[in-house]
């Protein structure tokens, strides 16, 4: 079996071993166990599992990465003190995926970081193959960490004879062997219901809110570019202590939208457009024009997922947008990296903390309270 050696191989230096774990209190009684009693004689409620050991010392925890965004996986590993697992990930000459874990994962809680970004199908199949390999290697639990969930925009039948692809991908991940999933800013929150396994849905808003609070923009109004994003924008506006405006948008075809009207007063305001995905940037460019036409003095934008396909870079560069702030759920194309208007914030710390909490069985929702 000869694999295409030109493809990236995820390996570490020879001799490196996986992370180890201290005795997490297994040899002694746990507080809140069945034998524990409160003063009134009733069983004491079991507290959340404490962080008895660092993940870097935990033999029952491993982190792996596909080729979609290895830098993000490495940054997550640095945050939680764990190196990305040693593995061989290659492709045959015809593009077929080959994966082999070079570390023992038997009985281990495994997290696989892989956004399904461009090329979407290639990275998706890669993720499925990795899950299958880890399942067959007897991993105790496999959590897929998908910062960007491809096919999320196909979450309902809005036309005749079309698929619900977001549900199909959910079934594929589960069938492959995923026991749990972690996502960032799903296009539609109801996608969580497509899974028959536990799903943790986290948001990039803490990172974005922190950045824009530091900018301290005057007369700020948060803008939702469509009705579907109102809930997301309202939450963001509350955190920023700013009013909310909505753009009435009608989509005439895939990646084609027409701005109809601005609902809300934006005259004399600094507008901040909040979206989850920026793909071809057609909606973004038209929203910027509509806001300026309605009297906005400056327009900024932020989004969790910078897909930026097709003419997106040219449209952003040609627009009157002051700045576009995105996260690193998707690695930026080279042209986007060179555009001064685009700033990237890392969510590695947020994902790392969520992963740590999932492994230690503590609350993930407290990250956003």
Q: Looking at the annotation, which residues are catalytic?
A: 249
- Rounded CA-CA distance 199/190 in Å is 11
Structure token pair of residue 327 = 């996260």
What is the C-alpha separation between 309 and 332, in angstroms, rounded?
10
CB-based burial label for 13 (10 Å; 0-12, 13-18, 19+): exposed
What's the CA gap between 195 and 172, in Å, rounded? 10
């Amino acid at each position: 079996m000869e694999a295409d050696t030109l493809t990236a191989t995820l390996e570490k230096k020879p001799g490196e071993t996986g992370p180890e774990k201290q005795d997490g209190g297994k040899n002694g009684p746990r507080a809140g166990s069945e034998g524990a009693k409160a003063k009134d004689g009733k069983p004491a409620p079991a507290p959340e599992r404490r962080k008895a050991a660092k993940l870097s010392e935990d033999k029952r925890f491993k982190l792996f990465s596909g080729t979609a965004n290895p830098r993000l996986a490495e940054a997550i590993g640095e945050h939680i003190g764990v190196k990305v697992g040693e593995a061989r990930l290659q492709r045959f000459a015809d593009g077929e995926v080959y994966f082999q874990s070079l570390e023992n994962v038997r009985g281990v809680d495994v997290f696989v970081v892989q956004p399904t970004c461009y090329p979407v199908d290639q990275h998706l199949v890669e993720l499925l193959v990795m899950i299958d390999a880890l399942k067959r290697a007897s991993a105790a639990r496999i959590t897929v960490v998908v910062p960007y969930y491809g096919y999320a925009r196909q979450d309902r039948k809005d036309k005749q004879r079309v698929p619900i692809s977001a549900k199909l991908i959910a079934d594929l991940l589960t069938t492959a062997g995923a026991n749990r999933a972690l996502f960032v800013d799903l296009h539609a929150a109801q996608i969580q219901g497509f899974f028959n396994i536990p799903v943790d849905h986290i948001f990039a808003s803490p990172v974005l809110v922190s950045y824009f609070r530091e900018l301290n923009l005057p007369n700020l109004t948060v803008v939702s570019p469509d009705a579907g994003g109102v809930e997301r924008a309202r939450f963001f506006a509350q955190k920023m202590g700013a009013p909310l405006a909505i753009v009435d948008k009608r989509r005439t075809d895939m990646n084609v939208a027409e701005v109809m009207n601005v609902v809300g007063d934006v005259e004399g305001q600094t507008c901040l457009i909040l979206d989850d995905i920026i793909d071809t940037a057609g909606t973004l460019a038209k929203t910027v024009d509509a806001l300026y036409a309605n009297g906005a003095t400056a327009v900024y934008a932020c989004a969790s997922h910078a897909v930026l396909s097709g003419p997106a870079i040219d449209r952003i560069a040609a627009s009157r947008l002051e700045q576009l702030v995105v996260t690193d759920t998707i690695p930026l194309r080279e042209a986007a990296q060179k555009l001064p208007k685009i700033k990237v914030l890392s969510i590695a710390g947020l994902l790392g903390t969520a992963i740590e909490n999932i492994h230690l069985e503590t609350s993930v929702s407290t990250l956003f309270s």
